[in-house]
Chains A and B, each alone.
Chain A
Amino acid sequence: MADKLKFDLVSPERLVLSADVDAVQVPGAEGDFGVLPKHAPFMAMLRAGTLSVENDGKSQLFELDGGFVDVTPEGVTVLAETISD
């Protein structure tokens, strides 16, 4: 479990969260999915729903109002207009 995933959660007004995490659960437009380290490059639209960030057995929840996610070998970026914890 040494591998971590570099995760950024960004809204137009600020950078909400930038951290190394174990996994993220994302509400994709065509179904929820999880991203673990070393995920293949992937880009998806998001629907309104809950984003869950898991790190060291703890999870942090964010409510999103749609947006999109970009998974690259460097990490995961979630761009969403409105974010609330």
Chain B
Amino acid sequence: MAPSLLHPPSQLSPAAALQLSQQAPAVLQNSPSTVSKSPFSALFSASETPELWIKYENLLLSCLRTGDELAAKQCLERLVARFGDGNERIMAFKGLVKEADAQHNGELETVLKEYEQILRDNDTNIPITKRRIALLRSMGRVPDAVSALVQLLDFSPTDAEAWSELADLYLSQGMYPQAIYAMEEVLILAPNAWSVHARLGEILLMAATAPGAAGASYQKYMAEALKRFSRSIELCDDYLRGYYGLKLVTTKLLKESAKLAKQAEEDGLVLPDTNTIERLNELATAKLSEIIRHSTAQDRGWRGYDQGEVAVARELLSEDSSAASRIER
């Protein structure tokens, strides 16, 4: 699938981002640089569409990513000409370009000061708040970023993007319970996002295997991880990441099934019995091999998988089968 300028480019592979930013001269030439607001020219020229400005934004991001700062600045100029200097979104883009221009840490500090100045004038400027947090994080000041995020989430607790960033920050610090809490907040805002369910499952699995977890909390984490992965598959058939996680959890549980103590049924999160875990493991194995087979053969309807993910899944399966044959021997 060719990358489109109408989707935010944050998920693109480097090659796709490069391909997008190489379109920059053509896009900049063919799109109108300004749209006149006078009613008479509006009668004769094509009317302005939101897509045009979305295109400029995404082009700006791709160009910054690939180092084409000239084109990025052109996009920014057009955006500023249309929406003015005071627009919150545009202010964030301006800051982003400045961050990309900065040569050393001192210049980044200046940008940070500017953000703080803007926030002193208007403390509900959410795009700038988020830029500041991102800048703090990229400068390595994670605790500052976390406290700024917590402050943002205190007055705007319905921001899924901020919650997931917070989860990621906590995870990078190894603070699993906090990361899990933040991820659950994302789920409250987007209860049917299978990717978020799977991500929460991954975090739970990490929390379970972390050195500190033991005994009852270990089992609780494992049980919930198992259920989260199952839910993500339930929401999205043939979801590679969900099956991969399910396979990991069930394999691990089966290996340790002897050690697992019987849990008290207090909060509804109990591990299913060994038989069910075995069947889930079989299901995940079968599904994973089906996905690998189809995706390697490039069958119709199976082409969207990320090649790296498929390769990792294949590795997991081969590891599993070699372990199984070792046991048989």
Is this pair of chains taken from one and the same complex? no
